Amino acid sequence: MKYISTRNISPPASLKEAVLSGMPADGGLYLPEIIPQLVGRSIDTLGAMSFMEIAQKISTKFLSDDIPVSHLQEIVEHSMNLDVKLHQLDDGIAILETFHGPTMAFKDFGARFMARLMSYLIRGDDRELTILVATSGDTGSAVASGFLGIPGIRVVILYPSGKVSPSQEKQLTTQGQNIQALEVAGNFDDCQRLVKQAFADTDLRDQHMISSANSINIARLLPQSFYYAYTAGQMMQKPGDLVISVPSGNFGNLTAGLIAQRMGVPIHHFVASTNSNDVFPKYLTTGDFQPRPSDQTLSNAMDVGDPSNMARIRFLFKDDVKLIRSKVSSWSFDDQQTLDQIKDIYQRYEVIIDPHTSVGMLGMKEYLKSAKGVTQGVVVSTAHPAKFPESVDPVIGKRIPIPEQLAQYLEREKRAISMSTDYGEFRQYLTDTLG
């Protein structure tokens, strides 16, 4: 299977090129040349399959040209061993919990799968692969956890000093082994600039194998399609149309859902739910895509003003906004609505949701107001609420218990190397330490 650029200028790439480079040279994003189809019995049996079985099946469809099935099964077994739970709240509304991984957000699926896949793709190479990641919090912790102990790969994480939450900082700086954290005296943009400079440094790249792990990598999208297929399977016996609301920022999670739908998974419609960063709902309304600087909100992992996966969504729908509207609706909600919704869901069902999931819930309710016929609504719950106690505690009127998985990091000792925003210093660090 080849991977094509959404800009159609760079030539199709192999799986190895697409995953290790992250992005084609023409500035587009990679998509599989062909979206394999699940048909007939493959669809009928989804309801009887476990999440792991579905992960095996779909990954084989996409990757078995490039990876022997026995290896592929091993990659999937060791990365997709995460719980996915559907929690029915009421007639017609369920929550899909995708936060049972080690960092308690759905990003664990993509990061873990990408780590094992990369490790396989560099086998036989005697040089170590170095992954550079700039993070404002969540992506870095999922990547750190996903790549921990993976042979042949070292991860260097750059985070802005004083600008990530104390618990996020612990998750970034206490892993040890092949994970090194750099505490940069600047903001997130400085971190990202340092990483970009390293990628543009051809001398450095000639000597060392470096790659990125950011959310545009196709290897992170693929495993996210598995839980959409699982959801469709679980909902198959219920009457009506399956509609899935996805709390969205860079729109990678929604794109994975659209890919599952394109494979033939029976999903009737999607709702792209955003916080006040509303370029996507505006685009659906006006047909005009106007990126702008992001606003800060309580659902901060969705504070994106120029969603990177727009390129993929437009490509999948031949840049026809009417066609996109036929499959996706979108609304935006502000912080007050987000908090009120957390409270409402807690009072009605004694279920605590995080601010991102709350935005997803609001989108689903908006959709249901004008839905025709019977709808089975599923809201993707992207993070555990205990990751956001400062938002959640005041509205539920008590302290949310912190799960052991998150608490354990707090007791560990922070280890980070301080770094200025000067590229020379960062380069020196890389050349001193890289294999």
Ligand X SMILES: *Cc1c(COP(=O)(O)O)cnc(C)c1O
- Chain positions contacting ligand X, by CB under 6 A: 105, 107, 138, 215, 247-253, 301-302, 356, 382-383
Least distance in angstroms from the C-beta of 259 to ligand X: 13
Strands (E), 296-361: 328-332
- Rg of the chain taking only CA atoms, in angstroms: 21
Q: Which one, 107 or 170, has the nearer CB to ligand X? A: 107
Report the alpha-carbon distance of residue 272 to residue 328 in Å, rounded: 7
* CB 128, CB 434: distance < 8 Å: yes
Least distance in angstroms from the C-beta of 221 to ligand X: 9
Least distance in angstroms from the C-beta of 165 to ligand X: 13
Least distance in angstroms from the C-beta of 178 to ligand X: 23
Q: Which one, 42 or 215, has the nearer CB to ligand X? A: 215
Q: Which one, 145 or 250, has the nearer CB to ligand X? A: 250
Report the sign of the C-alpha dihedral through residues 225, 227, 233, 239, in that order. negative
Least distance in angstroms from the C-beta of 249 to ligand X: 4
Contacts of 300 (CB under 8 A, 6+ apart): 136, 137
Tell how far CA 144 is from the center of its chain.
14
Q: Which one, 216 or 243, has the nearer CB to ligand X? A: 216
Q: Which one, 102 or 252, has the nearer CB to ligand X? A: 252
Least distance in angstroms from the C-beta of 96 to ligand X: 13
Structural tokens at position 420: 């200025």
Residue spans of alpha helices (H) in 386-422: 389-396, 404-410
Q: Which one, 63 or 256, has the nearer CB to ligand X? A: 256
Q: Measured between alpha carbons, how far apart are the two ends of the chain, in Å? A: 31
Report the alpha-carbon distance of residue 56 to residue 40 in Å, rounded: 18
Residue in the structure block whose two tokens are 């490790």 = 119
